[in-house]
């Protein structure tokens, strides 16, 4: 008789109604199983851990005017929320291709969409950067409709192992594809003061660009590594707390916004996001069919200016027959339900 006892590994306890650690939030990681819990979290204006709430979904669907049988492209697949709604419009005929540079999230999204009934006959996920839209279009296009959501997905921000957020300590990484390039911690050691200051100013309009750049360079020159999100946050906290122009009651929110802008600028630099967007906008017209429609969501004034300028110039050249005149923003109700939608701007264009 075998007397060996099999050990039972207990699931991590769900601590109260608001567990703080990412791995403890197993209810939020299973939205289909815990629908009531997920709905409560969203109604409170929060995004469940490991999940992403798509922005301007109805506005995008209304503009794209997707018809059964068409071929479309989601250039930034992410969680697959927009893609799912596009696929529903096809009513079983046609195809949507989804691109994503993130090797971790693309597999999760493929499985998520398959569970909803969108198999390879109607949906294909391609692991590539959306700047390679020309290669994708040559093989699978041209497309009737294209969407590009330039925001970082919430599941990337919330996962502490990815280093996108200053709210939890983790390696200062910020790479969309952790298998390519170098992490932000290493990138900082390669920069000069002027380069870092310029990145903070141009990529995030950071008013504390100069003192932050000076403090980072001072730490690095003294041999102090800035290899975690917490170390970078502490540098920013010290700068704000020593600024007598900031009232005591406003310090916390000022620190939060400064951290958000600083992390955003470093993320954009590490992933060459402006260069990628330049390439995408230049190659975009050739990827569209005549009469094809494209919608782009931006989350930063610099991105929006690039999209606005490209659309306007190409319309003047007759490449686009029409472009959006007034930027489209999420409703107040959507911004309340999803605070991450607040800075979103949508622009569109129609190919001649």
Contact present, 72 and 94 (Cβ < 8 Å): yes
Residue 29 has pLDDT above 90, yes or no: no
Both structure tokens of 34: 């815990």
Closest CA to 125 of 104, 142, 145: 104
pTM equals 0.79
CA distance 294 to 145: 6
What are the Cα distances from residue 222, in Å, to 184, 193, 215, 216, 233? Answer: 18, 14, 11, 10, 18
Strands 320-323 and 288-298, sheet pairing: unpaired
Kindly state the DSSP code that residue 26 receives in the 8-state scheme: T
Q: What is the mean pLDDT of residues 63-70?
A: 94
Predicted pLDDT of residue 17: 54
Contact present, 102 and 176 (Cβ < 8 Å): yes
Better pLDDT: 316 or 28: 316
CA distance 65 to 226: 48
Strands 345-351 and 288-298, sheet pairing: antiparallel
CA distance 111 to 233: 35
Q: Which residues pair with 220 in a beta bridge?
A: none
The string of pLDDT tens digits covering residues 198-229 is 999 988 889 999 999 999 999 999 999 899 99
CA distance 60 to 53: 14
Kindly state the DSSP code that residue 328 receives in the 8-state scheme: B
Predicted pLDDT of residue 28: 47
Contact present, 296 and 287 (Cβ < 8 Å): no
Q: Find out if CATH 3.40.50.150 is the number for domain 57-154+274-351.
A: yes
Better pLDDT: 167 or 326: 326
The string of pLDDT tens digits covering residues 130-142 is 999 999 999 998 9
Mean pLDDT of the chain: 84
Q: Where are the domains of the chain?
A: 57-154+274-351, 177-270
If one looks up domain 177-270 in CATH, what number appears? Answer: 1.10.150
CA distance 14 to 190: 42
Residue 4 has pLDDT above 60, yes or no: no
Kindly state the DSSP code that residue 171 receives in the 8-state scheme: B
Predicted pLDDT of residue 335: 82
3-class DSSP state of 247: coil
Q: Which residues contact 195 (CB under 8 A, 6 or more apart)?
A: none
CA distance 328 to 297: 9
């Amino acid at each position: 008789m075998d007397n060996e006892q099999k050990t039972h590994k207990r699931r991590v306890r769900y601590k109260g109604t608001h567990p703080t650690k990412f791995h403890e939030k197993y209810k939020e990681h299973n939205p289909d199983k815990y629908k009531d819990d997920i709905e409560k979290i969203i109604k409170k204006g929060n995004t469940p851990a490991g999940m992403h709430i798509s922005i301007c979904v109805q506005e995008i669907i209304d503009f794209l005017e997707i018809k059964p049988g068409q071929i479309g492209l989601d250039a930034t697949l992410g969680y697959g929320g927009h893609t799912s709604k596009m696929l529903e419009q096809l009513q079983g005929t046609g195809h949507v291709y989804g691109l994503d540079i993130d090797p971790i999230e693309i597999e999760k999204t493929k499985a998520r969409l398959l569970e909803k009934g969108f198999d390879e006959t109607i949906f294909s996920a391609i692991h590539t950067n959306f700047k390679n839209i020309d290669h994708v279009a040559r093989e699978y296009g041209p497309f009737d409709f294209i969407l590009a959501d330039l925001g970082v997905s919430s599941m990337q921000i919330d996962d502490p192992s990815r280093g996108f957020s200053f709210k939890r300590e983790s390696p200062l990484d910020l790479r969309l594809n952790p298998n390519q390039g170098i992490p932000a911690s290493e990138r900082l050691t390669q920069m000069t003061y002027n380069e870092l200051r310029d990145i903070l100013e141009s990529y995030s309009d950071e008013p504390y660009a100069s003192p932050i750049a000076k403090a980072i360079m001072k730490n690095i020159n003294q041999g102090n590594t800035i290899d975690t999100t917490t170390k970078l946050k502490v540098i920013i906290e010290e700068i704000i707390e020593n600024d007598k122009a900031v009232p005591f009651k406003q310090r916390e929110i000022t620190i939060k916004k400064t951290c958000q802008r600083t992390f955003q600028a470093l993320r954009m630099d590490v992933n060459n996001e402006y260069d990628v967007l330049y390439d995408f906008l230049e190659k975009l017209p050739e990827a569209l069919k005549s009469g094809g429609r494209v919608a782009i969501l931006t989350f930063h004034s610099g991105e929006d200016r690039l999209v606005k300028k490209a659309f306007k110039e190409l319309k003047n050249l007759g490449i686009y027959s029409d472009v959006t005149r007034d930027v489209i923003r999420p409703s107040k109700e959507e911004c309340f339900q999803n605070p991450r939608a607040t800075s979103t701007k949508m622009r569109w264009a129609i190919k001649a």
